[in-house]
Structure formats: C-alpha cells, structure tokens
Amino acid sequence: MSSSIDTFAGMNHPFIKSLKHALTLPLPGSEVQFEMAHVKREKLNKEELNNVNYRKSAVLLLICKNKNGFFIPLTERHVYNGLHSGQISLPGGKYDEKDFTLEETAFRECFEEIGLRNEIELLGALSPVYIPVSKFLVHPFVGYLNVEEINYSINESEVKNLIELELNELIKPELVKQTTVEPVLGLKLKTPYFDVKGKIVWGATAMILNEFKSILTKETIASFQFR
C-alpha cells in the first residue's frame, strides 16, 4: 500500500505536527474538563488533592487514521458488579510499579485491551482527572498510531465493544447532550455526555475528551479538518 496524505498520515502530516506543538502549550485544564462533569462531581484543587490518598492510573487517547480521517478508539466495558460497569472509556488502567512511568502504563494497557502498541508515538499529555468514587488520579496521554493499516486484537474479557470516535464528529456541538445516569442502584446523576454512535460517553472520559476537543477547535488545529 502506498503512503499518501489521503490514505495514511505519518508523523510529518501537518495536523499531527500542529497537534504535537499545541500539547506543549498551556492546557485548558479543569475549567474545560468540568464542562462535561455531572452536577455533583467533587472538584479538588492541587492542595486538596495532595491530602487525598489517591491511586495513580493512566489512559491513552490514541489518534488513528483510516480512509475516512482521524479517529480515537474507545472501549465499552462489560456490565459487571462494579463502579464503572458498562461505561465507555479510553484504553487504560492502574499504574503498576513494573511500568516505571505513567506513560508506560498507558501504552501497556492499550496493548492489553485492544492490541495496539508498536509504532505509537507519544505526542503529549492532557490534564489529570481525579475520580472521587474510585479515588483514581487519571493521567491522560495523547499518542499517534503511525501505521498504514490498523490491526486490533481485542481482549474480550475486558472489552465488550470497540467504538471509533471520528475527530470531525467530536468537535460538533450537537454531539453534547444531557441525560440522567444511575452508576449504582439508587444514585441518579444529571450529566452532560457525548453521544457517540448512540452510546453515552460521560464521566472522566467525557472530561478528558472535552479538554482535547478544546485544543482541536483552536483555529490553527481546526483548519486541517482532521483529514
């Protein structure tokens, strides 16, 4: 298969180069993240967070490319007796000391969940998100899968379904809607969410995506139309 901007986007693609630069600049941060938070979500400043016995975790917002444009793979969890049952997430999980770095956690979890690791280039990081209900501090990293053909290997014990979120869809205002979720029996929360192919993407994942969306919609980035 021959490489071209139409069929394949290498690291020299102007969108990828521009995005990598944008991630070196000051991030939008919690103010933008909390635009997608439910009404009861606890907000902690850095000083308050230092007093919390949180657990470290990392996720990978992975930019991929196919003939239709750039997209982000999202994973749908199985329904189980737990706090994040059935939710839509970015590939990721808790930090393991064997990982050495949180970047390694994000890459390892991406490989374990959807089979992608080789040829992923780290572009930068987004702002950490604290999840009060599970006491995880999630560190989101942004990577680019620098390959011509994507070959997933889905871990069916962890992932029920894989959903591809196109960047051209993410920036559309109509993707954001309002609903009431019930993460545990009897706890109902009003929350904004991203309607991704009929799936409700809310919570920490939506907050991370909203910060990324804020970067995408900057004039210098949006001009590329993610093609």
CATH number at residue 134: 3.90.79.10
Query: Would you say 113 and 91 are in contact if contact means Cβ atoms under 8 Å apart?
Result: yes
Please choose, from the candidates 73, 53, 72, 88, the residue with its C-alpha nearest in 3D space to the C-alpha of residue 183. Answer: 88
Identify whether 160 is part of a domain: yes
Identify whether 134 is part of a domain: yes
Identify whether 8 is part of a domain: no
Domain around 32: 14-217
Query: Would you say 55 and 49 are in contact if contact means Cβ atoms under 8 Å apart?
Result: no
The CA distance from 197 to 182, in Å, is 20
Identify whether 227 is part of a domain: no
Identify whether 212 is part of a domain: yes
The CA distance from 91 to 75, in Å, is 7
Domain count for the chain, please give it.
1
Quote the pLDDT of residue 182: 86
- Residues of the chain below pLDDT 70: 1-9, 80-85
- Burial track 146-176 (b if 16+ CB lie within 10 A, e otherwise): beeebeeeeeeeebeeebebbbebbbeeebb
Identify whether 178 is part of a domain: yes
Identify whether 7 is part of a domain: no
Identify whether 225 is part of a domain: no
Q: How far is CA 215 from CA 18, 71, 223, in A?
A: 11, 15, 12
